[in-house]
Amino acid sequence: MISLKDPSIEVKNVTCILGEWGEDKSNLSLKLRKGIGEIQYLDPYTGAYLSKSEGAKATYVVPREMRRGNMNSKDLLAGWFRSSKRAEEVMFLLDIPDDNLNNISDVNLSKVYMSPLLKENVKFAVIEDFFQLIEEQGKFRALKYLFKILRSKRMDALLMISTTDLLFPCDQIYVMYDGEIVEEGGGLLHPYTMALNNSSTKIGRKGEKLNVVEVGRGSPSGCVFHDYCQFLKVDKVLQRKCRLEKPPMWDLGASKVKCWKYWHQ
C-alpha cells in the first residue's frame, strides 16, 4: 500500500484516479515515482514498511507518452530484463511481436511499456493515462493485458483514467479535479464526475442528466468546480454558497463527495 497525504489517497489493490490528464496527474505520478512529500510505502507481500527510497525503487510508472524508435521490441526488453531468455518469456506471455517499435500497433507498444511490471523488484505500479491516446477498441485490449500482469503479481497499483468506461476493474475510486480529490467511491455524484461520464447517461441519486460542458482550470475561491457546475446554474441557493465557500467531503455511505448539493443529505 502507498499512503499519500497531499492529495490524501491510499493506493491498495487496484486504485483508480478518474479525471482529465493534466499537470495535477503528472505531479502525482512524479511524487509516487520519486517518493516526494509525506508518503509511506507498505510492502504488499510482507506488510513491512519501506523507506521512501526503497518504495520509490520498487515503483514502476507505465508512461502516458510511449516513445517509438528504430529498435526491435525483443532488444529493448532484453536490455530491461538483462536477459534475452526472460525477454522471450515476457513476449510470449503478453503476445508481443518481435518487430521494430515503429511498426507495431499502439496496443502492442503499450504491452512493451507494461512489461517491466513483471520485473521481480517491482511491487507498485503507477499507470499514467495512455488509454486516452489509443483507439477505442484498443483501450480494452490494453487494459486486459495490464490486469493480467497486476493480478498475477498481486501488486498495488494506481491507474489514472479519464473515462468512466474503464472504471469496472477498480477496487477503489478517487475523482481528481485540478489537484483536488472531489469524490471517493463509485457513486458518480460530483458534477465533474457527471460531466466526464457524458450527457446521455442517467446517473446520480435522482437520475440527473447533464449536458457536456467545456471544463477548464478550477476556481481559487469557493468550490473548485463552481465555474462549470450545472447544479449551480439551476439552484439559486447554491449560487452564492458554491462561489464563496469550499464544501467539505460529505459522507453519503457508498461515496464521499465535495459538493454543496448534498449538504442536507
Could you read off the pLDDT of 177-230 as tens digits, one per residue?
Answer: 999 999 999 888 999 998 888 643 444 444 444 455 677 788 889 999 988 888
One domain, residues 140 and 256: no
Kindly tell me if the per-residue pLDDT of 141 is higher than 50.
Answer: yes
**Residue 27: which CATH number?**
3.40.50.300
What nine digits make up the cell of 110? 503499450
Give the mean pLDDT of the chain: 89
Among the three residues 141, 166, 191, which one is the final residue of a domain in this structure?
Answer: 166
One domain, residues 69 and 157: yes
Q: Per-residue pLDDT tens for 111-135?
A: 999 999 999 999 999 999 999 888 8
In angstroms, the CA 243 to CA 173 distance is 26
One domain, residues 53 and 162: yes
Q: Per-residue pLDDT tens for 62-97?
A: 999 999 989 999 999 999 999 999 999 999 999 999
Q: Per-residue pLDDT tens for 166-178?
A: 888 899 999 999 9
- Confidence at residue 239, expressed as pLDDT on a 0 to 100 scale: 85
One domain, residues 119 and 185: no
Query: Would you give the DSSP letter of residue 219?
Result: P
One domain, residues 106 and 48: yes
One domain, residues 52 and 95: yes
One domain, residues 115 and 74: yes
Q: How many independent structural domains does the chain possess?
A: 2
- Confidence at residue 202, expressed as pLDDT on a 0 to 100 scale: 42
232 within domain boundaries: yes
**What contacts 241, CB < 8 A, 6 or more positions away?**
222, 260
Domain that holds residue 35: 2-166
One domain, residues 161 and 184: no
pTM of the shown model: 0.88
Residue whose grid cell is 490486469: 147
Of 93-102, 160-169, 215-224, 233-242, which has the strongest mean pLDDT? Answer: 93-102
Report cis status (omega within 30 of 0) of the bond before 7. yes
Terminus-to-terminus CA distance in the chain, angstroms?
A: 32
Cβ burial 93-110 (10 Å sphere, 16+ → b, else e): ebebeeeebeebebbbbb
CA distances to 23, 149, 150, 191, 221 from 20, in Å: 10, 25, 23, 14, 21
CB 16 within 8 A of CB 128: no
Q: Which of 262, 251, 222, 263 is nearest to 239 (CA)?
A: 222
One domain, residues 252 and 125: no
Work out the pLDDT band at 264, boundaries 50, 70, 90: low
Work out the pLDDT band at 42, boundaries 50, 70, 90: very high
